[in-house]
A and B are shown apart, each in its own frame.
Chain A
Amino acid sequence: MINRNSRNTLRFLTRFHHHQHNPSSQFTSKTVFDENCKQLKRNVLPTENKAFNFFNPLTNFFKNKQLGHGISCGILQKCYYGSMGGAVQRSSRFSELNDDDVRYFEEILGKKNVVQDEDKLSVANIDWMHKYKGSSKLILQPCNTDQVSQILKYCNSRCLAVVPQGGNTGLVGGSVPVFDEVIVSLSSMNNIISFDKVSGILVCEAGCILENIMSFLDNEGFIMPLDLGAKGSCQIGGNVSTNAGGLRLVRYGSLHGNVLGVEAVLANGTVLDMLKTLRKDNTGYDLKHLFIGSEGSLGIVTKVSILTPPKLSSVNVALLACKDYSCCQKLLQEAKRKLGEILSAFEFLDGQSMDLVTNHLEGARNPFSTSHHNFYVLIETTGSDESSDKQKLEAFLLGSMENELIADGVLAQDINQASTFWRIREGISEALMKAGAVYKYDVSIPVENLYNLVEEMRSRLGDAANVIGYGHLGDGNLHLNVSVSQYDEKILSQIEPFVYEWTSKKRGSISAEHGVGLMKANEIFYSQSHETVQMMASIKNLMDPNHILNPYKVLPHSITS
């Protein structure tokens, strides 16, 4: 068991390994292994860091229940059923893979790109959180759009279900097979096709890893409009297909605004070339938006053209302490007004999150060591003029202090200090993993009600759990986490469906940025009307009549079966 664990750990870690210089690892990492860990922590989603499942005492405790991955059957079941309601059955409409199929794929892709290797399959079949495990027998690695088209055409004719897979860093089980769907991996299609230095428009293939694109752009003096912790592994095709949010959304907006064009392959193999590089193009229905956020259920994205903002030199980060949530809110309003165009991130975390991070994370210290505060806000500004930005930020901060919106604050004096502040915010998920088991929710609610959910959950669960809240306050996005010593059905029943009902009453979204995937497919009605979901189903039936693309996900099973 232990051997299997460490082999998978190493493979897992090497997937996240990258060569970029990471300032926060300079002072604290001692060994190469440590360095990789630190890179992991830095590059894993701001909201989640599940690599540490391996180091989670909980999984070691359940080690005896063999499942082949060090994750207990118990945990899997509880998580699986927790958000699924009832077990999913494999649909009879899908054929089973046979040798002729494999031979056909070998002919069009070459033997090297048709993978049936046990080890590789076991990695591709399980999601990043080790919550969802499929049983696919085949991974296909096409090298160009034409091959993707041939694959889908064939699968459609044979009614073989397909799961498009990029970096496999999703958090709702949308990137792994549920049963024996064929995995179509876009990882081999990782070329940057073109970059226009004047307009900043980048055209690249879907399999490009986000961090690699960022390094390329950095050389040219540009940045990506999105940034998330998973950047070391996630691929742009997946980001686009899931309409990934991240830390920069408050400044640069969502991918719906930044993606200028998409090339996608439909279920029947038709290639839709909508790969424009134009800022403005009002010719007919803008179909690319169907592929942004539909999580691979309407087509496989093969190429993306995206508008990238220029890299600005002056970045400032401040960590502020507020006495209550309404101050955080007012601070947000003030920040949008006073910092305006230079505001590039506005995150918040509550006192419990800060305690969690300082208690469980190595090297993380609370800058306000002498006093305890109820809320903390992290503000980042990005602009072109160092001194005027700093002046603006200082004036805003001092004004907020005078108006008693903030009790205290620290301003980072160099990049290292800025990284330390970000580490506190981005390290919360990791700290959660170290603290035990965690139930995670990602909701979008009107800002004024945002924290009420945390408080209500806290009073509901009492001493049974540590409820913490943090998130992208600038976007009205709360990451609600319930930290417990071990998974417990009783606690889960107190959380769900209360969380979804509460969110629905406030007309919020039960999934702000993580998407629906498998986890919340049947919960979609909490945030969308029946008519809307019916229309979604009609579009699905039109574009993928055999339902071979990413089945069992996104739309409720009652509608799609």
Chain B
Amino acid sequence: MKIMVTVKRVIDYAVKIRVKPDKTGVVTQNVKMSMNPFCEIALEEALRIRESGLASEVVAVSMGPSQCVDTLRTGLAMGADRGIHVEANDSMYPLFVAKILKKLVEIEKPGLLILGKQAIDDDCNQTGQMVAGLLNWPQGTFASKVVLDKEKQVATVDREVDDGIETLCLNLPAVITTDLRLNQPRYATLPNIMKAKSKPIKKFTPKELNVDIKPDLEIVEVTEPPKRKSGVLVFSVDELIEKLKHEANVI
């Protein structure tokens, strides 16, 4: 069975984000970019499934400008077998990613599609769900545990939901999106980085796949959240009540 994993190139999560002065977006020039942490977890899970003998191949997919190849190389260095790069210079909104993924799935025919639950730049949390809908595949999102049964061709997924943990049993092929507690991604060791150089990366364009990625969303403005105001000291209970009544308007 083949496993397909999507990896997104995003601004490194430890970087301090700054809004561009013209408010059209955030500063990405000269800023460190890395693989989305949830995508790392997705890839790690795929690799573990392959290492346990339940899958034969892990294919990493990334969509975006040419620098996405760096992210794919990282994925290959972690242990993915092949890479696919869909080159596009426009913003990749979840719906377009989902449509392109559908086409890739039709070409590659994987038994399992694993994505990170959301990307840390847009926090959409939509792609996994959309592609499952387009493919009409079952989905197990916010996975904190995944157990595969090859014979029965099902995946048992523990999902982290507001009430606690929900366990679902999905028929394969299925879509899984990964949450933080699923696993701890491995480091890219040097021998693997060496091997990664010879692993193939196939290129596609959205046009070749017959997907129209003209945006139907327009970003009007990007602003920073309001700065947290400092607290105020009050010196008597009366003053506190007065402030709660007239300033905070809560009583």
Contact = CB atoms under 8 A, between A and B. Distances in A.
A424 to B, nearest CB: 12
Contact of A410 (B15, B37, B190): B190
A29 B26 CA distance: 28
Contacts of A387: 67, 70
Given A313-B30, A410-B187, A411-B188, A416 B14 contact: yes
Interface in B154-184: none
A415 B13 contact: yes
B12 A415 contact: yes
Interface in B6-52: 12-16, 30-35, 37, 40
A414 interface: yes
A413 B189 CA distance: 10
Contact of A409 (B35, B37, B67, B190): B190
B176 to A, nearest CB: 22
Contacts of B74: 413
A394 interface: yes
Given A21-B16, A398-B194, A401-B194, A413 B188 contact: yes
A367 interface: yes
A416 B37 contact: yes
B225 interface: no
A409 B77 CA distance: 12
Given A21-B16, A415-B14, A416-B14, A313 B32 contact: yes
Contacts of A23: 13-14
A314 interface: yes
B193 A413 contact: no
Nearest to A406: B190
B13 to A, nearest CB: 7
Nearest to B10: A414
B191 interface: yes
A406 B189 CA distance: 12
Q: Contact size class for A? A: 20 to 34
Interface string A397-427: 1100100001011111111110100000000
A411 B73 CA distance: 13
A387 B65 CA distance: 14
Nearest to B67: A387
Contacts of B31: 313
B37 to A, nearest CB: 7
A408 B191 contact: yes
Interface class of chain B by DSSP = mixed
A394 B193 contact: yes
A315 B32 contact: yes
B39 to A, nearest CB: 11
A448 interface: no
A341 interface: no
Given A408-B189, A408-B190, A314 B14 contact: no
Contacts of B77: 411, 413
Contacts of A367: 187, 189
Contacts of B67: 387
B34 A414 contact: yes
A417 B37 CA distance: 11
A265 to B, nearest CB: 36
Interface string A366-394: 01000000000000000000110010001
Given A21-B16, A414-B14, A409 B32 contact: no
A415 B30 contact: no
Interface in B188-205: 188-191, 193-194
Nearest to B187: A410
Contacts of A413: 34-35, 40, 74, 77-78, 187-188
A411 B37 contact: no
Given A21-B16, A313-B32, A411 B193 contact: yes
Contacts of B78: 413
Among A313, A314, A406, chain B packs the most CB atoms within 10 A around the CB of A313
Interface string A13-37: 0000000010100100000000000
A401 B16 CA distance: 35
A447 B127 CA distance: 54
Contact of B15 (A320, A390, A415, A419): A415
Contact of A386 (B32, B35, B188): B32
A26 B180 CA distance: 12
B190 A398 contact: yes
Among B33, B37, B190, B194, chain A packs the most CB atoms within 10 A around the CB of B190
Contacts of B35: 413-414
Interface in B62-113: 67, 70, 74, 77-78
Contacts of B32: 313-315, 386, 414-415
Interface string A96-114: 0000000000000000000
A419 B188 contact: no
A390 B15 CA distance: 18
A416 B194 contact: no
A414 B13 contact: yes
Nearest to A312: B30
A429 B15 CA distance: 27
Nearest to A365: B184
B190 A414 contact: no
A387 to B, nearest CB: 7
B190 A397 contact: yes
A380 B108 CA distance: 39
Contacts of A415: 12-15, 32, 34
Contacts of A410: 187-190
Interface in A314-328: 314-315, 320
A416 B190 contact: no
Interface string A266-289: 000000000000000000000000
B48 to A, nearest CB: 15
Contacts of B12: 414-415
A394 B191 CA distance: 11
Nearest to A315: B32
B122 to A, nearest CB: 18
Nearest to B184: A365
Contacts of A315: 32
Given A313-B31, A411-B188, A419-B14, A398 B70 contact: no
Contact of B187 (A21, A417, A419): A417
A254 to B, nearest CB: 28
Contacts of B190: 320, 397-398, 401, 406, 408-411
A412 B185 CA distance: 12
25 contacts: A21-B14, A21-B16, A218-B16, A313-B30, A313-B31, A320-B190, A386-B32, A386-B33, A394-B193, A397-B190, A397-B193, A398-B194, A401-B190, A406-B190, A408-B190, A410-B189, A411-B193, A413-B34, A413-B35, A413-B74, A414-B32, A414-B35, A415-B13, A415-B14, A415-B15
Those 7 A-B pairs whose CB atoms lie nearest each other, nearest first: A414-B34, A415-B14, A23-B14, A410-B187, A313-B30, A409-B190, A415-B12
Given A367-B189, A386-B70, A414-B37, 8 more contacts: A21-B16, A313-B30, A387-B67, A387-B70, A413-B35, A415-B15, A415-B32, A419-B14
Interface of A: 21, 23, 26, 218, 313-315, 320, 367, 386-387, 390, 394, 397-398, 401, 406, 408-417, 419
Interface of B: 12-16, 30-35, 37, 40, 67, 70, 74, 77-78, 187-191, 193-194
